[in-house]
Amino acid sequence: MQAINNFFQTKRNVYIVAGVVTLLLITIVALALNRPAPKQTVDINNQKVTLVWWKPFYGSEVYGDIIKDFKAIPGNNNIDIQLVDKEYNDDYYKSLISDIARGAGPDISQFAMMICQHTKSL
C-alpha cells in the first residue's frame, strides 16, 4: 500500500494514470458506438421460387416422387420445380452447354460421362 501511495505522490505519475484511464474510456466508448448495424434479414419463406429441371432419362412419374420428397422438407414448400422433357442425344449436350454458357441453362440438369467431351466449351 505504501508503494501505491508513493507512486501517486508525484504529479507526473498522476497525469500518466489519468491519461491512461482517459484513453481507455475513450476507446471503450468509441468501440461501443462504432458497432456495425445488424444485418437486415430477408424472409424468403414467402417468396416463390421456380427451378427448371431438364430431364432426359426417365418419365415424369419417376421424378414426381423425388419432387414430392423435396417439397416435404421444411422450408421447401415455396419452391416449385418445372420439369422439362429433353431427348437424350447429342443435341441435349449442345443445348445444355450453349444455354449454360449464355446464362440461360436449367437450374437442374442431368448428364452422363459424355459431358467430358464438352469441357473445353465451358
Shared-domain flag, residues 72 and 117: yes
What's the number of domains the chain is made of? Answer: 2
Kindly state the DSSP code that residue 113 receives in the 8-state scheme: G
Shared-domain flag, residues 113 and 91: yes
The reported pLDDT for the residue numbered 34 is 81
First vs last Cα of the chain: how many Å apart? 77
In a domain, 52, yes or no: yes
| Tens-place pLDDT, residues 66-102 | 889 999 998 888 899 998 888 877 788 788 888 889 9
Shared-domain flag, residues 23 and 49: no
| Tens-place pLDDT, residues 35-59 | 777 777 766 667 888 999 988 777 7
How many Cα atoms sit within 13 Å of 56 on the Cβ side?
16
